[in-house]
Structure 1
């Protein structure tokens, strides 16, 4: 059986599907990323991996950590470090709100997707509460039931 290809929106560069599986997302925020020249070229080429990424508040600034942006092939000795921490650009009120929420136990700030908006790279970050194993099974069961109902309705009409 062939694997189903997930369609991306035309401006979507990367999607973290595992985040919605491992966390129940409570709130989302759109943030800009401070990138260097070779980083933005790699991001536009879709060479970004959000799988293990998370955000952390340090010194009243929000930092995106553990996100891999591959080196730009045509870059020279000024190429970037693929795993460096990148600053996220949000309003100060939003950062203080996120700092307060992130201090609670079991709450994590995770990147959900990266996309282009008016030529700028943006990250959709979510405040997530970790799911337990039984929560994940329940979510999968509910999705399967919804699919069954949709199939039944489709065949009916």
Structure 2
């Protein structure tokens, strides 16, 4: 038995599986979203020059799925398929930006909501809702307006 892996055995070869997976990788959703919503890219993708290496000479292209088809009948049949409809549904949402992804990972600056941008500094949301100018005045008002507990009777102490 030799220790050298032969060419024909790819079953447990991790590098081979990864290379196959990335070789036929489709376009990402954010790239397709840009193709659809950018008029120049949309025009370029729908009106391509004839290419003999592509199916249907590159004339029958599905923008949403980033796939070429052999003819108009194959393209129209594809547009009725479940895969195409799922891709269209996925593309309705705007893709995440790099800033949003970094903020979610805790790497970048937190994205501020409009309420945080317009709020004056030093006033927390709780205090802003009370209409107080300073935290000290709010604490003083909370201490004076704190409800007192009702007096308890001695009945709860006796057990028969």
Q: TM-score, normalised by structure 2?
A: 0.20
Structure number with bigger Rg: 2
Q: Which has the higher contact order (CA 8 A, sep 6+)?
A: 1
- Higher relative helix content: 2
Q: Which is strand-richer, 1 or 2? A: 1
